[in-house]
Structure 1
Amino acid sequence: MGGYTCISLTTDYGLADGFVAACHGMIARIAPAVRVIDVTHLVPPADVRRGAAVLAQTVPYLPAGVHVAVVDPGVGTARRGVALATPGGVLVGPDNGLLADAAEALGGITAAVELTNPGWLAPTVSRTFHGRDVFAPVAARLALGAPLGGAGPAVDPGTLVRLPTPVLRRTGAGFAAEVLTVDHFGNVQLAAPGDLLEQLPDRIRVDGRAAVRGRTFGDAEVGALVVHVDSAGLVAVAVRDGRAVDLLAVRPGDVLSLSGE
């Protein structure tokens, strides 16, 4: 491994405390010349599914690098800390399903290790802040070109934790899909590939509500639902000049049915 010039950070740490700065600081102490890109620190607390989706949909557009993700409700328990090598970079974080989709987006896992080498970690490892004491220092060393195997023993990729497959099923008039994420604008992203929309007419029912199939938000009247393919290539439901999540009263994990009128 020749090293990387970039480390990205994706967490649920928020912006009100010093958690993000501490991770930046730990990286800067070890690899001061490496650039850090903050993807987001506003993943809802402990929402591993949301963090996994944000990470997987973002890393293909980042420079090849080390991508640290920390949405870690199991911190300090028996859950493993891992680093996953892929053709597009290395992912570092907890083994709780957070990293798997991003690894696939970067070309698939080519090697995996458990982070157990104390020489790669902070001198004192907190039971509740592995982002600072485990994942950040490991990422910094990997960015400097240290070999993946130096972080700890190899892990069989087949034993890595993966999130349950989201609901997606065909129906007689269309399909039903799980709400994968809801973004800052209230747009509802479904766990359905965009090409499924091609099978539906221009006028659609979303859980019984009238909607139009469009290419942009402007294809609907103000306040109306529009179903489109979003920037991640997935089916999404929006409201022109409004918030689809409020109109539909849904949250991630709910299932929406889409069908022709």
Structure 2
Amino acid sequence: MSHSGILTLLTDFGLSDPYVGVMKGIIAQVNRSLTVIDLTHHIPPQNIHLARFALMTAIPYFPARTVHVAVVDPGVGSDRRPVAVALGSDPNAPMGFLVGPDNGLFSGVLSQYPALEAVELTESQYWWTATPSSTFHGRDIFAPVGAHLASGVPLQKLGTTIAVDSLVMLHSLTPQRTKHTLTGCIQAVDHFGNLVTNIPASEVNGQTWYAVVKDVTVLGRKTYSDSAPGELLAFVGSHSWVEIAVNQGNAQSVLNLGIGDAVQVILNQPHSSQGD
């Protein structure tokens, strides 16, 4: 069975401490020929929701069989399970693997792609140490397990099989649709303060539309240049979700909104002049 030899890392560790470098050192001791790619280490501390979104949107851009190690783990040291998950529908050709805590971090990916198989990481011969730290499973469990998996160790050898439907899911509100409205919520706030909703592009493509948040009307545009500097706009972002932004500004600060707050999209209807 061929493997990509690619391993990605996503954490909330930042880069001012040696934590990420230590994880890479462990990976190199398992297999120094692996290609290790940093997705991001600047997830805000313990922000599982943003990590969920970042991982979900990154997965499609990697080759089959890439191993994604993600560690945003406020429950480290508790009874939350360390897991590895194979993605896809073909047992002979998984599209990729996830390694990390079973705390909902993987629920965005699992809402887009089926889980083929999952194991709880119980086989300590694939850990860095059989007595892992209660605060650094990224070093002691997830990094070495990810490296072994990317090097060709079968998923089944890494632990005890668990039911894929037992994996923890963070259920973002499913957008509710009527004839002319979509009601959803903000699922992520990016570095620029853009508010990424859970309303997919497919719901608005080819239609005239606008968004309403906090009784403020935000016109649907194609791109930033269709609005004046400082103006609120709504558009389909590169992630293929409806976003709300401020041209050359920060929508989160302007609107004082965050993850879970409600957003409504109005389709093919005249808009009022309020608040835009």
Residue 4 of structure 1: how far off its partner (Å): 2.7
How far, CA to CA, are the matches of 1:20 and 1:110 in structure 2? 29
Check whether the contact 2:8–2:38 (CA below 8 A) recurs between aligned residues: yes
Check whether the contact 2:4–2:150 (CA below 8 A) recurs between aligned residues: yes
Runs of 4+ residues deviating >6 angstroms: none
How far, CA to CA, are the matches of 1:185 and 1:121 in structure 2? 37
The equivalences for 1:30-179 within 5 A come to 30-64=30-64, 65-86=66-87, 87-105=94-112, 107-123=113-129, 124-170=131-177, 174-179=181-186
User: For the structure 1 residues 202 and 120, does the alpha-carbon distance in structure 2 shift closer, same or farther, using more than 3 Å as the test?
Assistant: closer
How far, CA to CA, are the matches of 1:113 and 1:2 in structure 2? 20
How far, CA to CA, are the matches of 1:206 and 1:22 in structure 2? 43
Residue 16 of structure 1: how far off its partner (Å): 1.5
1:104-142 per-residue CA deviation (whole Å, 9 max, x = no partner) reads: 54x421111110001011124101100010000001111
User: For the structure 1 residues 203 and 89, does the alpha-carbon distance in structure 2 shift closer, same or farther, using more than 3 Å as the test?
Assistant: closer
- Residue 44 of structure 1 aligns to a residue in which SS? coil
Listed as ranges, the gaps of 5+ residues in structure 2 are 88-93, 272-276
Residue 211 of structure 1: how far off its partner (Å): 2.4
How far, CA to CA, are the matches of 2:110 and 2:4 in structure 1? 17
1:18-76 per-residue CA deviation (whole Å, 9 max, x = no partner) reads: 11011111101101000100000111111111101000000111233110001111111
Q: Is 1:189 aligned to 2:196, yes or no? A: yes
CA RMSD of aligned residues (A): 1.8
Residue 224 of structure 1: how far off its partner (Å): 1.2
Listed as ranges, the gaps of 5+ residues in structure 1 are none
TM-score by length of 2: 0.88
Check whether the contact 1:212–1:220 (CA below 8 A) recurs between aligned residues: no
Q: Is 1:252 aligned to 2:253, yes or no? A: no
How far, CA to CA, are the matches of 1:47 and 1:200 in structure 2? 34
Q: How many residues align?
A: 260
The farther-off stretch of 145-154 and 209-218 is 209-218
